């Protein structure tokens, strides 16, 4: 009877399989959702330092808050949040924003909309698909 050999073989295979490393390991997560990557923390801090919060008017009595990185970030508009387009924007002092017809912040769109903000031209409202914000030069 070969049962003892079979038992040894199965036991050995089980031990090898149990000790095999995970082919797709996930990085261990820090407690309380903290980030283990100091570079990521620096990038997040830099984004917070170089971002602003704007308020976009979606409906006559509905305003949506959005945080956007200044100078570099292009933010596409979510058509579910803005089914009738963006009706207006409130911009912090010292900044201006521009809306674009494309989803990539290029092509036609609005002129610069400076603080404190304004209503969007009615003929453009439904055509706008993205926006970008900038620091105004000279405190404009």
pLDDT tens string 73-129: 999 999 999 999 999 999 999 999 999 999 999 989 999 999 999 999 999 999 999
Domains and CATH numbers, the chain: 52-139 (2.60.20.10)
Q: Stretch 13-35: mean pLDDT, rounded?
A: 43
Q: What is the pLDDT of residue 31?
A: 44
Q: What is the pLDDT of residue 39?
A: 52
**Could you give the CA distance from residue 64 to residue 79 in angstroms, rounded to a whole number?**
13
Residue 45 has which token pair? 């801090």
Contact 68, 89 (CB under 8 A): no
For residues 32-64, one letter each, b for 16 or more C-beta atoms within 10 angstroms of the residue's C-beta and e for the rest, the string is eeeeeeeeeeeeeeeeeeeebebebbbeeeeee
């Amino acid at each position: 009877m070969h049962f003892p050999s079979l038992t040894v073989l199965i036991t050995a295979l089980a031990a090898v399989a149990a000790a095999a490393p995970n082919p797709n390991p996930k990085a261990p997560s820090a407690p309380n959702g903290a980030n283990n990557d100091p570079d990521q923390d620096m990038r997040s801090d830099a984004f917070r330092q170089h971002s602003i919060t704007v308020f976009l008017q979606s409906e006559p009595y509905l305003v949506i808050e959005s945080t956007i990185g200044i100078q570099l970030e292009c933010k596409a508009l979510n058509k579910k949040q803005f089914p009738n387009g963006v009706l207006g924007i409130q911009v912090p002092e010292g900044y201006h924003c521009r809306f674009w017809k494309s989803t990539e912040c290029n092509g036609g769109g609005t002129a610069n909309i400076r603080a404190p903000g304004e209503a969007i031209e009615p003929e453009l409202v439904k055509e706008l698909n993205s926006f970008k914000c900038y620091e105004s030069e000279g405190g404009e």
